[in-house]
Amino acid sequence: MTAPLRIAALSAWHVHAEEYAREAQQHPGTELVAVWDEEPERGRALAESLGVEFAPDLEVLLARQDLDGVTVTTATNVHREVIGKAIAAGKHVFTEKLLAPTVAEGEELIAAAREAGVRLTVSLPRLAHGYALALRRVLEEGRLGRLTYSRVRLAHNGSTADWLPARFYDPVAAIGGAFSDLAAHPVYLTQLILGTDVQVRSATYTDMTGRGVEDNAVVTVTGTDGAIGVIETGFVTPTSPFSIEVQGTKGSFQHGLGADGGTSVDTGEGPVPLDVPADAENPFAQWVDAIRTGEDTTENLERAQALTALVASANSAAA
């Protein structure tokens, strides 16, 4: 039997830090052995909640011969530094999005990982959800005809209910506000629908709670074939359902809309519910598989880079 991969969690900065660390505890192929954080008090608290040791020195932790990989949930602006150090130490890396603040920095990390022979994977979880698999199948079958429009919305009340940590409003550490964080999911889903080469046409950001970054945002894009995409997000909406709408010349796809919030296709005779498959392996499990097989996570990294490019372009357009 193959021994579990030994994993360390790097930083409790991100709200998903504990989630990914617990995945390392729960996955049969991995074992969580330590937590590091640039703020020792915060790191010790996470380590205690997980029942593992706190490692105060990152370099010493990464030099451990019994450490195979790391989950990275630091502030986005230090991804290049922290991920770069992990790669240089020969450790596999699973990271929260964005991979890096810029496409160029992301390319440096990808090239370094490939040269070092380590597996690098970015968390893009909704691509593995059943509705996304159903959508991909509908698109591949051409059931909607030539695409004309898409709209993907994901929002929550993190600002108005005040449950997001204050550090999420630091425009340097977080590389922006709601669009750089929560909108990542509707961005990569929009790119699944319209292609990774969509172009930003407008970006409207507002700061409704006065924290200094956008907490309400709408970005429009266009695909190479003329389709329009609308990406909506925010931290100020308590009841807005996650939803996907795709329109084409022959029909439409909907998820999360209507009274039942189900998944359906309408080709002119009314909406027909779709059989939604079970979720595929999530990105963490995909990362573990890639480590075991030695296969490169090519599509994941290409989509991660396209995500970074669109977020950076939208932030520039809004500014």
pLDDT digits (tens, 9 = 90+) for 148-203: 999 999 999 999 999 999 999 999 999 999 999 999 999 999 999 999 999 999 99
pLDDT digits (tens, 9 = 90+) for 27-55: 999 999 999 999 999 999 999 999 999 99
Q: Are strands 272-273 and 263-266 parallel, antiparallel or unpaired?
A: antiparallel
Amino acid identity of 141?
A: E
- CATH 3.40.50.720 for the 5-118 domain, yes or no: yes
pLDDT digits (tens, 9 = 90+) for 126-148: 999 999 999 999 999 999 999 99
Amino acid identity of 299?
A: E
What's the CA gap between 24 and 33, in Å, rounded?
9
Confidence check: pLDDT of 214 > 60: yes
Confidence check: pLDDT of 1 > 60: no
Buried residues in 51-75 as b, exposed as e (16+ CB within 10 A): ebebbeebeebbeeeebbbbbbbbb
Domain borders along the chain are 5-118, 126-281+312-318
Is the bond preceding 98 in cis, omega lying within 30 degrees of 0?
Answer: yes
Residue 51 has a pLDDT of 98
Confidence check: pLDDT of 259 > 80: no
**Both structure tokens of 201:** 């046409």
Residue 68 has a pLDDT of 98
Average pLDDT over residues 106-135: 98
Q: What is the greatest pairwise CA distance in the chain?
A: 64
Question: Taking Cα atoms as reference points, which of 120, 155, 160, 169 lies closest to residue 286?
Answer: 120
Residue 16 has a pLDDT of 96
Give the architecture-level CATH label for domain 126-281+312-318: 2-Layer Sandwich (3.30)
Confidence check: pLDDT of 109 > 70: yes
Contact 189, 232 (CB under 8 A): no
**Both structure tokens of 159:** 């600002």
CA 301 vs CA 26, 40, 94, 110, 228: distances in Å: 25, 31, 11, 8, 25
Provide, rounded to the nearest whole percent, the portion of the chain with pLDDT above 70: 100
Confidence check: pLDDT of 79 > 60: yes
